[in-house]
Amino acid sequence: MPGQDNRLKPHGFYRGAALTLLFASVLATAAATDSLPRADEEAARISTRSVASTADRDEVARAAAEAMADGKSGTEAAEDVVSRSGDRWGAVYDKGEYEEFEQALDGKYTGVGLSAKRLADGRIAASKVQPGGPAARAGIKAGDILRTVDGEPVGPRPVTEVVALLRGEGHVAGGSEDASAGTTVVLGLSRGGHEWTETLRRVSLSTDAVTLETGADGALVIKVAAFTKGTGKQIRNAVLEAPRGAGVLLDLRGNAGGLVTEAVQAASAFLDGGLVATYDIRGEQRALYADPGGDTERPVVALVDGGTMSAAELVTGALQDRGRAITVGSPTFGKGSVQMPSRLPDGSVAELTVGHYRTPAGHKVDDKGITPDLVVDERAQERARTVLSGLGGGS
């Protein structure tokens, strides 16, 4: 199915103000296999993602159409059918929510370049300031306390809501993240007892999904936050350009998933062709294969945890089963089901479970996750470096 974009996506990704890449969940495979079935011609321009159990697509569409004919919300009617179906990962997204998600997987978002976290004392602080973004240019630093957004106290709010406010979600009718680009937001901040306000203008920014670092031991550390557009090529290039004999620590902790095509390309960086995963769509078996020409010599350790999900589990399972990496950390999340999107009469999108995927050795991922070769709860990165050194990948 040439031209179709394929992604892994989270359930509840856009509920309320929580429009962040937290629970990516789908195995989207059409472009990788050129054969993924589609609900209709419109769905070919949407992506396919992964989930578990299933609601009837026709029933969902019929409920939406009947609700609209009665002057009610088609989206809400569809959500009710999916909820009652027992489809654990099935969901319905309005048009704006879906557009925002697609932007996120393209590695883009609108905001001020500021990540937030809650401190032990309950306050909200800047956890990361993106270099070159509006917040960085204003002199805001990681650790600064965020007191208010547009005059509203943020202390009692969930962090996801604070992030949504910073990004301007809901700021302009229509729901698209691009709608808030160019708008301003006033932040109330404090640092070391000094309080001040900053007025920042939101802009379109690119996410830093892949971070590269060379350790003192010469090993290459590749941290992958999500498999957004372009990450597979970044990983492959980094491995190809690494010094001969240098080991690789592939850090997939907290990686909630992303585009399956990028995940396959990432696995291909360490494989010379061969099976990456098998999956079924309504009982029909399919397979995903690595590209030839990857580095099969240098030592690799994959670092995982309970936040390693979906596409990240796809990569983990492939490298572990193919004997290409030692996995270290805690058991992964366990999200390995396949979902098909359908466009509803009101423009919203319903995603319903149609199958599951397995690792090259045939292990089921959904609800089970992947158990690392070396299970550690504390000092996982330190242990991973020790393992890599033992494999000859570090001094």
Please pick, among 9, 223, 229, 335, the residue that the annotation labels catalytic: 335
Please pick, among 25, 176, 268, 310, the residue that the annotation labels catalytic: 310
Active site residue 310: yes
Active site residue 117: no
HEC-encoded secondary structure of the chain? CCCCCCCCCECCCCCCCCCCCCCECCCCCHHHHCCCCCCCCHHHHCCCECCCCCCCHHHHHHHHHHHHHCCCCHHHHHHHHHHHHCCCCCEEECHHHHHHHHHHHCCEEEECCEEEEECCCCCEEEEEECCCCHHHHCCCCCCCEEEEECCEECCCCCHHHHHHHHHCCCCCCCCCHHHHCCCEEEEEEEECCEEEEEEEECEEEECCCEEEEECCCCCEEEEECCECCCHHHHHHHHHHHCCCCCCEEEECCCCCCECHHHHHHHHHCCCCCCEEEEEEECCEEEEEECCCCCCCCCCEEEEECCCCCCHHHHHHHHHHHCCCCEEEECCCCCCCEEEEEEECCCCCEEEEEEEEEECCCCCECCCCCCCCCEECCCCHHHHHHHHHHHCCCCC
The set of catalytic residues is: 310, 335
